[in-house]
Structure 1
Amino acid sequence: MNRRVLVPAAVLLSSLSFPLTITGASVALPDLTGDLNASPTAAQWVVTGYNLCFAAFLAFGGSLADLLGRRRLYAVGVSAFLLGSAWCAVAGDVGGLVAARLVAGVGAAIATATGQSSLASAFDGAARARVFGALGTVLGIGLAFGPTVSGFLVDLAGWRAVFWVPAVLAGLALLLCPALPPGRGSGQRVDWAGGALFTFGLGALIWVFVEAPVLGVAHPAVLAVVVAAVAGVAGFVRVERRAAAPMFDLALLGDRAFLGYALVAAAMMGLLVPLLVYLPSYFIDVVGVDPARAGLWMLVLTVPSVLLPGVGAALAKRSPRLLSTGAVLLASVGVVGLVGIGPDGAPWPALLLTGVGVGLTTGVVDGLALSSVPADRVGAAAGLFNTARLTAETVALAAAGSALTLLGGGQPDSGFTDALRVVVVVLGCAGVAAGLGAHALLRRVGR
């Protein structure tokens, strides 16, 4: 078979499995929590640990690909994801499940970074645009229909099935690895210090969010890790400014347009991902629907991400600022509207409004951000942009989970409803603030 078919097939298969494992874990969470007798904190690590490793190792993956070669490292990433997913499916306790999720997150990050690089090197011109358009479509489908597919899998075969399916997809992608271009290593130095400090600082911050509600904010361990997180972030900034070949080009943050679009993307994921993870659990535990129906209900929130990017792209041609900031404010209002959620169901107009806001910017704001920087800095900008978005998503997910644990005790009763209402109001207000900030940054970028 032609390599120009096998290369995108491999990358698209693996790319489909990554969003499925995020949404699958959220739908499976109620069943696996009961089956493994997991505490609310342990259950939170099941969903947060994957995102943490994905965000922390995404840039590392790109740097290592330059050193070791894209095809070799892509195979390593897919293999790690396959191993982690299969381990999730057979885990006998929550500790093993969390460890498996960390392995899968690292593998997904490495495979994402190297897979996209392989596509860029194998195609150019109009063909490259088409293949990356297909990649965006696959990611959108995985995100949109992941909860629904996972819900049916849980009903038909139990929660372990939601991890077997991504493992099978990864296995098929691994068989196609020999078709990828070798991408010989360039011998470029890897920013080990910057990567280690970034990973440490983000990990320490997420640990505080997850463990502080249980231990107490004044617990010595919590205070010590807060200090360590601040020190790690400060050290990371210092190292990146002095490094000859930094992992992140922090000077890009001085570009108002790039920073504005990055803020929009970060805000959207910060609004969407906590809902993707915790709404299915709410529908199952509090409303009392089965996982399959919970997945169907989530389509109101997720399908606009598949249907509306074309509309968003057309609006962006007229006014990128209006499209970007308007969509954030629209999604934020929708999230605040979820304050009306209750045991009888969900306020569907609020879910739809949130989905429309997210869908209008899906993929579109990425192009706007990368188009705002010089061509010779696009690679660095893509790495920083994606890491910023994933970091915001991970922090928002951890903060929302901690608030639900602290305010609602993680139990399927009225306390969970009240806690969820507080969370959506805070998330929505944060989204409004981000939208206003982006509006100020983008005020010179079109009308």
Structure 2
Amino acid sequence: MNRRILVLTAVLLSSLSFPLTITGASVALPGLAGDLDASLTGAQWVVTGYNLCFAAFLAFGGSLADLLGRRRLYVAGVVAFLVGSVLCAVAGNIGVLIAARLLAGVGAAVATATGQSLLAAAFDGQARARVFGALGTILGIGLACGPTVSGFLVDVVGWRAVFGVPAVLAGLVLLLCPALPAVPGVGDKAVDWSGGSLFTVGLGALIWVFVEAPVLGLFHPVVLGAVLLAVASAVGFVRVERRRRAPMFDLALLGDRAFLGYSLVAAAMMGLLVPLLVYLPSYFIDVIGLDAAQAGLWMLMLTLPSVLLPGVGAAVSRRSPRLLSIGAILVSTVGVVALVTIGPAATPWTLLGPLLLIGTGIGVTTGVVDGLAISSAPTAQAGTAAGLFNTARLATETVTLATVGSALAFLSGGHLVGDGFTDALRTVVLALGCFGVVAAGGANLLLRQKVDATAPHRRSR
């Protein structure tokens, strides 16, 4: 079999397992919290901890892949994800489950960054655009099927099966790894261990502050210590990178307006989507009165466009990437704000319009914006670009998820049931709508200035 096909198969299969374990965990939260006698905060760390490690290790994983070899790092990431997922499925207490989720998050981060860089190295031109469109479809299937499949698994088998299915997929990926082409790293450069460590620690500390500060209080000694750690790590990172001959990040990449614009688009879409993926199933179950399987079916209204529309997004992006990017954010933002009408008497028909609008914006950008961003970087830096791009997306996702969770708990008085939950959710969707408008404006500015800056060059040609 053509090795390029093996690369595509392995990366798409692993990419399917990562969103499954994110959305699946959200449906499993009520069951695992009861079985493991976990508090609301502890149960939330099952989702947040995975996202935190995913975000914190993406950039460093991609940078290591460029230097040490992409296949080697990809295999290491898949193994870590597999071990973490198996430990999740057999965990006997909430502490072990959270620790296992942290390990799985690290593995998913490394495999994601290296997997996308493997695709960028194996394909080019129109083939690369088609491959990243297929990646978007697979990511959409993971998002779409996650709540539904997980709902049925929780009802029929139990919450542990939610972590077992991604582990099986990761095992299948490992069977393909020996046949993958060895994409060598840049052997004449040293690994930037100090820069990578400072970046990872700083980002992890920052996200931890967003998660725990609303619970412990902004002036709690531990929170203040985490803030100082994040600031010190940021300062140290900048100093180290300026002095290194082969830094973790190429500052020219960070100054590319197109790359930053597409990264902002992806971050905004996940910031709008993921809090709803996590908390809408709980609302459907605890307020509307659905069971887990029914809640998963209702979530298809939100997630199914992610399966059907990446191809449409790829076609639009070939004509106007900027129109695709800004339009998608605004369409999803309108859908989010329309959820202000949600209530205990909600039906699939009353939610169909808002959820389809949100899903449409997500669907046309899933995977497509990834390709636009990574393609704007040199091929030799594809791993670094993929890591930085996904870091922006996952960091935004994790911060918004933590902020929304804290806001819902505060506004509802700590009880995510009844009228208090409804009022809190309505306030949150309005705030998310404001976030979407600001993100659309920022992305439009970045992408428009990029076009204006290249226009004279085009005319001179």
Q: TM-score, normalised by structure 1?
A: 0.92
Question: Within 2, Cα distance between the matches of 1:317 and 1:14?
Answer: 27
Selected match of 2:405 from 390, 401, 405: 401
Corresponding position of 1:294: 295
Question: Within 1, Cα distance between the matches of 2:110 and 2:229?
Answer: 26
User: In structure 1, what residue type is equivalent to 2:272?
Assistant: L
Aligned residues: 447
The within-5 A match list for 1:168-187 is 168-187=168-187
Corresponding position of 1:433: 438
**Contact 2:120–2:379 (Cα < 8 Å) also in 1:** no
Query: Structure 1 stretch 257-266 or stretch 406-415: which is displaced more?
Result: 406-415
Corresponding position of 2:448: 443
1:353 aligns with 2:353: no
The structure 1 segments of at least 4 consecutive aligned residues displaced by more than 6 Å after TM superposition are none
Q: Which segments of 5 or more consecutive residues in structure 2 lack a partner in the other structure?
A: 453-461
Corresponding position of 2:312: 311
**Contact 2:66–2:384 (Cα < 8 Å) also in 1:** no
Question: Within 2, Cα distance between the matches of 1:9 and 1:286?
Answer: 41
**Contact 1:41–1:405 (Cα < 8 Å) also in 2:** no
Report deviation, 1:39: 1.1
1:45 aligns with 2:49: no
C-alpha change, 1:318 and 1:423, in structure 2 (3 Å) is same
Report deviation, 1:2: 5.6
* Cα RMSD after superposing both structures: 2.4
Report deviation, 1:84: 0.7
Report deviation, 1:437: 1.5
Report deviation, 1:83: 1.0
Question: Within 2, Cα distance between the matches of 1:176 and 1:376?
Answer: 24
Corresponding position of 1:205: 206
1:422 aligns with 2:427: yes
C-alpha change, 1:276 and 1:388, in structure 2 (3 Å) is same
Question: Within 1, Cα distance between the matches of 2:323 and 2:2?
Answer: 43
Matched-pair identity in %: 75
Corresponding position of 1:32: 32
Query: Structure 1 stretch 114-123 or stretch 243-252: which is displaced more?
Result: 114-123
Report deviation, 1:130: 4.6
Q: Which segments of 5 or more consecutive residues in structure 1 lack a partner in the other structure?
A: none
**Contact 2:139–2:306 (Cα < 8 Å) also in 1:** no
The within-5 A match list for 1:359-398 is 359-372=363-376, 380-398=384-402
Residue by residue over 1:400-430, the C-alpha shift from the partner in whole angstroms, topping out at 9 and shown as x without a partner, is 1222233221532332222222222111111
Report deviation, 1:433: 0.6
Query: Structure 1 stretch 60-69 or stretch 259-268: which is displaced more?
Result: 60-69
**Contact 2:53–2:109 (Cα < 8 Å) also in 1:** yes
User: In structure 2, what residue type is equivalent to 1:162?
Assistant: V
Question: Within 2, Cα distance between the matches of 1:172 and 1:439?
Answer: 41
User: In structure 2, what residue type is equivalent to 1:433?
Assistant: V
Question: Within 2, Cα distance between the matches of 1:257 and 1:130?
Answer: 20
Report deviation, 1:128: 5.0
Question: Within 1, Cα distance between the matches of 2:70 and 2:447?
Answer: 36
The within-5 A match list for 1:74-93 is 74-93=74-93
C-alpha change, 1:140 and 1:399, in structure 2 (3 Å) is same
Question: Within 1, Cα distance between the matches of 2:421 and 2:369?
Answer: 34
User: In structure 1, what residue type is equivalent to 2:420?
Assistant: G
Question: Within 1, Cα distance between the matches of 2:34 and 2:220?
Answer: 29
Residue by residue over 1:264-314, the C-alpha shift from the partner in whole angstroms, topping out at 9 and shown as x without a partner, is 111111111111111112211222111111111111111112222233333
Question: Within 1, Cα distance between the matches of 2:162 and 2:421?
Answer: 25
Report deviation, 1:66: 4.1
**Contact 2:201–2:230 (Cα < 8 Å) also in 1:** yes
Question: Within 2, Cα distance between the matches of 1:69 and 1:316?
Answer: 31
Report deviation, 1:199: 1.6
